[in-house]
Amino acid sequence: MTFLPAPVLGVISMALFILNLTLWIIPFYIIAIIKLLVPVPAIRRLCTRGLEIIGETWTSCNKFMVKILQIDWDVRGADDLKYNDWYLISSNHQSWNDVFMLQTALSKRVPFPRFFLKQQLIWVPLLGLAWWALEMPFMKRHSRAEIEKNPALRMEDLETTRKACAVLREHPSAVINFLEGTRFTPEKQAAQNSPFKHLLKPKAGGLAFVLASLGDKMRNYLDITIAYPADFSFWDFMCGRMRKVIIKVNQRILPDWIFAGDYLNDEKFRKRFQVWVNELWVNKDAELAGLLKEMNVA
């Protein structure tokens, strides 16, 4: 369909995207409401699986969009992933479009992926119920200033994380955590004085809390790097102007020492963990630079 003018292709693509969403949203909310109203664990587990199937089907249909737009969808390193296993996933974060890209690239390769969300988002109309029904981990996190004023709040954050992640230990799960905490922009990079060319500083503490909560269930770590063309937008994507996307998946087995330390109370372990995360980010920055060069993006 690339013979069509870009705006026409954009309208058609957006219409198909909305149609796909509308098609699945009705059965999704019927099951979500049943789960909300029936407090029987067995029924709720069945509802959760039904919602996951709907989410996976919706994502599979979105792959059709990529074919229509004839995008060079270059996913590397994801061939031998296992659907019935646990995965902790991190990625660089450049756009809200990252969620769409990760879900589409990992569809049916890993369990339906969850994202960490701020607790306040549970009150977003319609979406809050959807996220709750899919058992997305809702996080209540205190600011650094609040913790410095009252150090006990750090333990409260850890306990909140444990409760949010508890359900993910019950069955094979995939959970995505953006270590940068927010989308990359040159302005944020400058404000942080980030030492990385293409990334913001990673937040090691958040990842440490997640690993402490999930335990050694999450030994499989997917370190993902997404490379886009320069100056893209979601509308460019819909119009077929985004000719290539590279998603590089680096599979790692988390080392034993990560599960044996106390990030809060052991300073030596905390420094070692921060060095480990920083090394991941140094490698990711270099990898992203190489992928952008391959795409002829400065």
Q: Of 203 and 139, which is predicted with more confidence?
A: 203
Domain-located, residue 47: no
pLDDT tens profile 97-137: 888 889 888 988 999 988 877 777 788 777 788 888 888 87
Contact in structure between 30 and 133 (CB atoms under 8 Å) = no
Token code pair at residue 138: 């809702």
Amino acid at 176: I
Torsion-angle region of 126 (φ positive above 0: left; ψ -120 to 50: alpha; else: beta) = left
pLDDT at res. 243 = 78
Domain-located, residue 31: no
Cα 225 from Cα 100, distance rounded (Å)? 14
| Domains identified in the chain, total number | 1
pLDDT tens profile 38-54: 989 999 999 999 999 99
Cα 173 from Cα 43, distance rounded (Å)? 19
Report the chain's mean pLDDT, rounded to a whole number. 85
pLDDT at res. 238 = 81
Amino acid at 40: V
Residue 258 belongs to domain with CATH number: 3.40.1130
Q: Of 230 and 277, which is predicted with more confidence?
A: 277
pLDDT at res. 144 = 66
Domain-located, residue 43: no
Domain-located, residue 83: yes
Kindly report the pTM of this predicted structure.
Answer: 0.86
Enclosing domain of residue 251: 72-294
pLDDT band for 193, please (50, 70, 90 cuts): very high
Longest C-alpha distance within the chain, in Å? 61
Sign of CA pseudo-dihedral 157, 159, 160, 165: positive
Domain-located, residue 176: yes
Domain-located, residue 76: yes
What residues contact residue 286 under an 8 Å CB cut-off, 6+ apart?
Answer: none
Query: Of 293, 143, 145, 172, whose CA–CA distance to 230 is shortest?
Result: 293
Domain-located, residue 251: yes
Q: Report how far apart, in Å, the C-alpha atoms of 120 and of each of 35, 98, 160 are.
A: 21, 21, 14
What residues contact residue 222 under an 8 Å CB cut-off, 6+ apart?
Answer: 81, 87, 88, 89, 90, 110, 249, 250, 251, 252
Token code pair at residue 92: 């660089």
Domain-located, residue 205: yes
Token code pair at residue 156: 């409260």
Amino acid at 115: F
Structure-token match 């607790």, residue found? 119
Q: Of 107 and 200, which is predicted with more confidence?
A: 200
